[in-house]
Every structure is written in C-alpha cells, then in structure tokens.
Amino acid sequence: MCRYEGRCGLPTNFDSTCCYALGYGAGAFLQSGKTVLISPVGNLGAPVEEWTVGGTALTSLMDVERRHGKSRPVIKKAMVELEDAPFKKFASLRDEWALTNCYISQGPGSDAISHTLLLELGVQA
C-alpha cells in the first residue's frame, strides 16, 4: 500500500506517480459523492499499469483513546515492526549511519522504487 513517507529528497517518478494515483482515487470518490474514504494504492511492486486504487473507510483506521480524561476518536497508532525487513536493514546500518553520511537521493526523473518498499517486497535494497 502506498503510504507517502515524508522524505527530504526530491520526488522520483515513483513518488509522483504514487501521489497522482492517490489524488485520482480521492477525486473519483468526490465526484461520485463518496466521503469519509481514503484511497490506498496497492500492488506497488508491479508495473504502474497493474497498480490498484481502492477505497477504505476512514473509520476503519480509527480507534478510541482517552486523552485529557475524555474519549476521543483517533487514527490507530502504527508502531515500527521490529521484525520486518526495513527495520532490520536500518538496525544493521545504524552504527555506520551514526558516523557516515549515507544519504541516497534518487532525484527527479528517476524510476527507482524506494528502498523501504523494496525491502517490504522482499527485494534486497
């Protein structure tokens, strides 16, 4: 699923296409009078023509938490999965990254897929 992550690099073609697909889905919902939906993009490891754009009720992502003594609807917290490939890769490089600049920017016009997504798909990044 495409979850835009706040990154500092300039957007790649992948980033731009993913955001376009998110906006396309949201626009389609609005045009058909559907509200309180988000538009996830899936199958991101495939060519763009095979991506899927769907709809998910915003309420399905919500939970109720006590905040300042009152129950409030909030988006469920998503914790870092310590056993997943992206975190394991980070953990293996953490000491090196503390001392060395290892920043990678694919840059505009690049067709590269983000390293995090590649790791989630089981592809060595």
The DSSP secondary structure of 39-99, one letter per residue, reads: --EE-TTS-GGG-EE--EEGGGGEEEEEETTEEEEEEPP----TTSHHHHHHHHHHHHHHH
Tens of pLDDT, residue by residue over 8-52, are 667 888 888 999 999 999 999 999 999 889 899 999 888 999 999
pTM: 0.70
Residues pairing with 74 in the sheet: 63
* Whether the Cβ atoms of residue 55 and residue 37 lie closer than 8 Å to each other: yes
Supply the pLDDT for residue 96. 92
Q: What are phi and psi of 39, to 5 degrees?
A: -115, 90
Tens of pLDDT, residue by residue over 59-83, are 888 999 998 999 999 988 888 889 9
Antiparallel, parallel or unpaired: β 52-53 and 41-42: antiparallel
Kindly list the domain boundaries of the chain, sorted by start residue.
13-120
pLDDT for residue 121 is more than 90: no
In 3D space, the residue among 119, 65, 109 whose CA is nearest the CA of residue 89 turns out to be 119
